[in-house]
Amino acid sequence: MSTAPLRDRMVSYVHDLQDRICSALELADGRARFHEDRWERPGGGGGWARVISGGKVFEKGGVNVSTVHGQLPEKLAARMGIERADFFATGISLVIHPASPRVPTVHANFRYFEQSNGDAWFGGGADLTPYVADADDAQHFHRTLKEACDLYGEELYPGYKKQCDEYFYIRHRGEARGIGGVFYDYLRGTPEELERTFDFQQSMGDAFLPAYIPIVERHREEPFTEREKKFQLLRRGRYVEFNLVYDRGTLFGLETDGRTESILMSLPPVVHFDYVAPMESNESESTLMSWLREPREWV
C-alpha cells in the first residue's frame, strides 16, 4: 500500500479518471474534443474544467476535477452539520447532455473531503436520466453499478440505490430527475476503514464507463422523432430545476467561491419551460413518467 497521504492518492485518482473518461467520450462522439480550462480559487486551490460541445453525439458535457482548501464558511458548515474548520476537498464531477433524445443524460461525482479537526469522508455516485423508456438501458446501468458495489458488500447497492432515488427527487414536481443509480455520502471511518472506502470509491469510479458507454453505442445512430426531441427539452427543464434548487454540489461550489462556469457546466444548453407542458403524449412517455413517480427495482 502506498505511504502517500490518502488525499494525495485521491487527487491522483480523479485526474487519471478524468483522462480516461474524456478519452472514451471523445472516441464515442467521433468528432468533438474536450477543451480544458484551468482555474484558481480565491482562498486556495483550483481545478481543471474539461468541456465538450457541438459534437456528433454530445451536445454539451463537462468532466471537471477540483482540489480546493481553506476556511469553510460558517453558514455552509451549519448546513452540512459539521464543525467549522479548515477543509480540503477534491473530486471529479461530470454531466453529459447528448444531442439525441435516444441517448440518456448521465451524471457522476466522486469526492473526498477532510477537515483540520481530523474528520474525513468520501461521497459520490452516478445516475441516469433517459428521455425514452428503455428497460434494458436501466437494467444495464444499475447492474454495472451493483457489481461494483458487491465487491465490497452485497448490502451496499440496495442502500445506495435507495439514497439515490431519495436524493434526486424533485419534491415540488413529485417526480425523480431520472431513473437513478447509486448515491452515498459521509462515508467516514478509522484510517483502515477509510482505506477500504477509497478502494470502494475507485471501484465505483471505474464502473462509470462500462455503465454508460454501451448505452451510448446502442443508441447513437438511431433516428428520433420531433416529439422525442421536444420531450427531451422539457425534461431538461426538470434537470435545471433540480440542480438549481436542491443539488448539494452546486451549493457547495458557489458558497466556497468555486468557478461559476465550472459549477454551472451541468446545465443543458437548450431547455424548454412550456406552461403546463404535456408529459405523457405517448406510451414511452407514460412509461417513463411512471418510473419517475415510483422508483423501480432494476436488478
Please write the tens of the pLDDT for every residue from 119-155. 999 999 999 999 999 999 999 999 999 999 999 999 9
Which residues are within 8 A (CB) of 243 and not within 5 positions of it... i.e. 6 or more apart? 250, 266, 267
pLDDT band at 2 (very low <50, low <70, confident <90, very high): low
Strand order across the 45-53 sheet: 35-40, 45-53, 58-71, 86-98, 105-115, 120-129, 180-187
SS3 184: strand
118-141 core/surface letters (b: 16 or more CB in 10 A; e: else): eebbbbbbbbbbbbbbbeebbebb
Q: What is the DSSP letter of 71?
A: E
Average pLDDT along the chain: 94
Q: Could you give the CA distance from residue 25 to residue 213 in angstroms, rounded to a whole number?
A: 8
pLDDT band at 193 (very low <50, low <70, confident <90, very high): very high
Percentage of residues in the chain having pLDDT higher than 90: 84
Residue entry with cell 437494467: 139
Position 249 scores a pLDDT of: 81
Residue 248 has pLDDT above 90, yes or no: no
Catalytic residues: 107
Position 1 scores a pLDDT of: 54
Residue 215 has pLDDT above 70, yes or no: yes
The helix-helix angle for 135-150 and 191-219 (nearest 10°) equals 160
Comparing 184 with 250, the larger pLDDT belongs to 184
Position 81 scores a pLDDT of: 74
pLDDT band at 253 (very low <50, low <70, confident <90, very high): confident
Number of residues written out for the chain: 299
Q: Does an H or E element contain 121, and which?
A: strand 120-129
Residue entry with cell 465487491: 151
DSSP-assigned beta bridge partners for residue 111: 91, 123
Residue 258 has pLDDT above 90, yes or no: no
What is the set of domains in the chain, with CATH numbers?
A: 6-293 (3.40.1500.10)
Q: Could you give the CA distance from residue 251 to residue 258 in angstroms, rounded to a whole number?
A: 10
- Tell me the average pLDDT across 273-279: 96
Q: What is the pTM of this model?
A: 0.94
- Tell me the average pLDDT across 47-52: 96
Q: What tens digit of pLDDT does each residue of 76-135 get?
A: 777 777 777 789 999 999 999 999 999 999 999 999 999 988 899 999 999 999 999 999
Q: Could you give the CA distance from residue 20 to residue 27 in angstroms, rounded to a whole number?
A: 11
pLDDT band at 262 (very low <50, low <70, confident <90, very high): confident
Determine the Cα angle at 151 with ends 164 and 63, to 5°: 50
